[in-house]
Amino acid sequence: MATKSTKGPSMIETFQEFKETKNIDRTTLVSVLEESFRNVIAKMFGSDENYDVIVNPDKGDFEIHRNRIVVADGEVKDQNKEISLTEAQKIEPDYEIGEEVSEEVDFQKFGRRAILNLRQTLASKILELEHDSLYNKYKDRVGQIVSAEVYQMWKREVLLIDDEGNELHLPKAEQIPSDSYHKGETVRAIVKEVQNENNNPRIILSRTSPQFLERLLEAEVPEINDGLITIRRIARMPGERAKVAVESYDDRIDPVGACVGVKGSRVHGIVRELCNENIDVINFSNNTQLFIQRALSPAKVSSITLNPEEHKAEVYLQPEEVSLAIGKGGLNIKLASMLTEYTIDVFRVVSENEADEDIYLDEFSDEIDQWIIDSIKAIGLDTAKQVINAPREMLIEKADLEEETVDHVLEVLKAEFE
């Protein structure tokens, strides 16, 4: 018996559009369409097992055939699975009891509710496929740089669109503070993570991750890409300054020189990309003292006392080197601590004559509140000279004192030696 195919509702055309943009393979298309039809049929009749669904997504055609067994007149118990002999013979006069009748069903005649149900089922499956496609595309790209176009800017994040129209998210915390974005501009960032809660993928990008700087260096320095130079550690204060520890197993290669390039040529582009973030490149060392010394560059260290169990280091410097070690806003010492994974305390080197003239803090209790003296002593500073020689930032942060309080203490102590 010749059958006439039924032109599908508009949802098949929708599915074709989806196929073109998402590159879903034909087998998946057919199975999703077939499953959607079967879901609707099963909801209507309790079962879809006696139906054949034939889908041709390329043309937007589909055929649905219902298979029923011929039974004697008056003995039809299930209209969906059985057909009376008289009704069967209206289709083909030579049908007999026990034979199977296959006839094409016009899906449109199932009614408006069935068509609406199909649309919803199909939309749900399409969304599921979209999510699977997005998740599969990005789950293996974590740690890689991507380029995407700024689509929308909000207070808490920037929404970007990749070349396939997928949404990517750049949260405020992952943006370099001095970054500014304009709709339509292309932004580079690293894929930080792919969240997939309730099969709803969310691609999180980052420009502040140390890995972003690492990938940029790999792209600019062939020796890193070739494995001749290894990036051992990176510490970043995004948009301000970064320290990179590198190592080479080939004595003929200067890893620092290779990374920086002639007159900084290899890092210029990276510095611009990172909003003028200054990049210090140093030689890595397994010798912790040497590594801390290099990390505090450009300051020259006089001596270092290590406490490996607590990952603490006391660094002693000549008075003129202390401000270099700490850096503007304490940036240099913070980055050195991050890079070496040691808490670094900086002290001025005090001459023997100066030490002899020192005074215990408790003797200043008439001018400085006792709780302030106790707070300073709690961080290991017992004498006036020790406090004067300690970095101001250390007194504020470690002793947990207000800036005005620290300045008052220093003023009182310095006056004693003037």
Note the pLDDT tens digit of each residue in 320-375: 888 889 888 889 999 999 999 999 998 887 665 555 577 888 888 888 999 999 89
Domains 146-208 and 219-281 share a fold: no
CATH superfamily of 285-349: K homology (KH) domain (3.30.300.20)
pLDDT in tens, 144-173: 999 999 999 999 999 999 988 889 999 999
Q: Which CATH class is domain 146-208?
A: mainly beta
Say yes or no to pLDDT of 7 above 80.
no
More confident residue, 159 or 119: 159
- Residue 362: per-residue pLDDT: 82
Bridge partners (DSSP) of residue 128 are none
- Percent helix, strand and coil across the chain, each to the nearest 5: 45, 25, 30
pLDDT in tens, 283-317: 999 999 999 999 999 999 999 999 999 999 999 98
pLDDT in tens, 11-37: 455 455 545 545 566 677 778 778 888
- Where does 48-99 show beta strands of DSSP type E? 51-56, 61-71, 82-84
Lowest model confidence (mean pLDDT) among 11-25, 36-50, 81-95: 11-25
Say yes or no to pLDDT of 259 above 80.
yes
More confident residue, 112 or 8: 112
* Whether the Cβ atoms of residue 362 and residue 372 lie closer than 8 Å to each other: no
Lowest model confidence (mean pLDDT) among 9-18, 36-45, 130-139, 259-268: 9-18
More confident residue, 176 or 24: 176
More confident residue, 295 or 92: 295
Say yes or no to pLDDT of 6 above 50.
no
More confident residue, 125 or 87: 87
How does residue 277 score in pLDDT terms, banded at 50, 70 and 90? very high
- Residue 350: per-residue pLDDT: 64
pLDDT in tens, 372-416: 998 988 888 888 888 888 888 888 888 888 999 999 999 998 888
* Whether the Cβ atoms of residue 328 and residue 296 lie closer than 8 Å to each other: no
Say yes or no to pLDDT of 1 above 60.
no
Torsion of the alpha carbons at 12, 14, 19 and 25, rounded to the nearest 10: -30
What fold, for 219-281? GMP Synthetase; Chain A, domain 3 (3.30.300)
- Which letter does DSSP use for residue 201 in this model? E
107-114 mean pLDDT: 75
- Residue 222: per-residue pLDDT: 92
CATH superfamily of 352-417: 5' to 3' exonuclease, C-terminal subdomain (1.10.150.20)
First-last CA distance in the chain? 114
Residue among 259, 220, 254 nearest 243 (CA):
259
How does residue 59 score in pLDDT terms, banded at 50, 70 and 90? low
Return the domain boundaries, the chain.
6-136, 146-208, 219-281, 285-349, 352-417
Give the percent of the chain with pLDDT over 70: 91
How does residue 120 score in pLDDT terms, banded at 50, 70 and 90? confident
More confident residue, 23 or 94: 94
Architecture of domain 6-136: 2-Layer Sandwich (3.30)
Would you tell me how many other CB atoms lie within 10 Å of the CB of residue 34? 17
- Residue 8: per-residue pLDDT: 45
